[in-house]
């Protein structure tokens, strides 16, 4: 991943690293749900496009730029996966803008090499209710820009700071009433796909680690 930045004229800088997390929840369960009460993930892949970090005063911005999308496989435990770092001017930062990016044929080599991610942006594999033969594969072609405020982070010259992008996967299949949506029904008549996609966008936060 290549990075570039738009900064103030100061030569002094700190280092900003970006990590990605699944929220530390492999199991998503609900005691009062219907046919689906436990969702176990075996693999979760998310494609990220451009990531920008904005300063609270509006004077500085940092861009993680990629010639191609970044396909990330979320760790299924509590560990955070680091995806890159960049030099950053001293200041206070409180906003990030990033894109959940769909992989399409314009991405050439990545498209050829990643058959399981063609024309989609997120893929979640797993099984239901503890039965390993009750498998599901849920995908989405979401291609959206996300803007999120986070608790302001102040960076001084020489500092190294990590921001974590957390996708809380335990909420992706929530029905909003304490139960779970069935990921196998996402592409059927009466699809729950829009609700799941809204959950994905809502179950996200950025924090300093």
C-alpha 76/C-alpha 58 separation (Å) is 36
**Average confidence score pLDDT of the chain:** 85
pTM: 0.86
* Per-domain residue ranges of the chain: 4-26+45-126+142-172+193-208
C-alpha 151/C-alpha 149 separation (Å) is 7
The pLDDT value recorded for residue 23 is 79
Residue 102 contacts residue 46 (beta carbons within 8 Å): no
Q: Is it the case that residue 30 has pLDDT exceeding 50? A: no
Q: Domain 4-26+45-126+142-172+193-208 maps to which CATH number in 2.30.110, 1.10.287, 2.60.40, 1.20.120?
A: 2.60.40
Average pLDDT over residues 40-63: 88
The pLDDT value recorded for residue 185 is 87
Average pLDDT over residues 91-116: 92
Burial 72-100 (b: 16+ CB within 10 A, else e): bebbbeeebeebebbebbbbebbbbebbb
Q: For the chain, what's the residue count? A: 209
Q: Is it the case that residue 28 has pLDDT exceeding 90? A: no
Q: What is the radius of gyration, based on Cα positions, of the chain? A: 18
Residue 110 contacts residue 69 (beta carbons within 8 Å): yes
The pLDDT value recorded for residue 35 is 77
More confident position, 141 or 28: 141
The pLDDT value recorded for residue 65 is 61
Q: Is it the case that residue 91 has pLDDT exceeding 50? A: yes
Number of other residues whose CB lies within 10 A of the CB of residue 32: 8
């Amino acid at each position: 991943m290549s990075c570039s930045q738009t900064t103030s004229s100061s030569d002094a800088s700190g280092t900003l690293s970006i990590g990605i997390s699944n929220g530390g929840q492999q199991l998503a369960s609900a005691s009062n749900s219907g046919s689906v009460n436990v969702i176990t993930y075996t693999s979760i892949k998310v494609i990220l496009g451009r990531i920008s970090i904005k300063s609270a005063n509006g004077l500085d911005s940092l861009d993680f730029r990629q010639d191609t999308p970044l396909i990330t496989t979320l760790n299924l435990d509590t560990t955070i996966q680091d995806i890159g770092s960049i030099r950053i001017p001293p200041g206070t930062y409180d906003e990030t803008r990033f894109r959940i990016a769909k992989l399409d044929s314009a991405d050439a080599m990545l498209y050829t090499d990643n058959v399981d991610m063609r024309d989609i942006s997120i893929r979640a594999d797993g099984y239901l209710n503890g039965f390993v033969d009750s498998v599901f594969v849920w995908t989405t072609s979401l291609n959206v820009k996300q803007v999120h405020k986070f608790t302001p982070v102040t960076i001084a010259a020489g500092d190294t700071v990590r921001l974590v992008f957390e996708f809380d996967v335990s909420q992706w299949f929530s029905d909003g009433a304490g139960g779970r949506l069935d990921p196998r029904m996402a592409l059927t008549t009466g699809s729950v796909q829009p609700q799941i996609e809204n959950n994905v966008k809502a179950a996200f936060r950025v924090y300093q680690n």
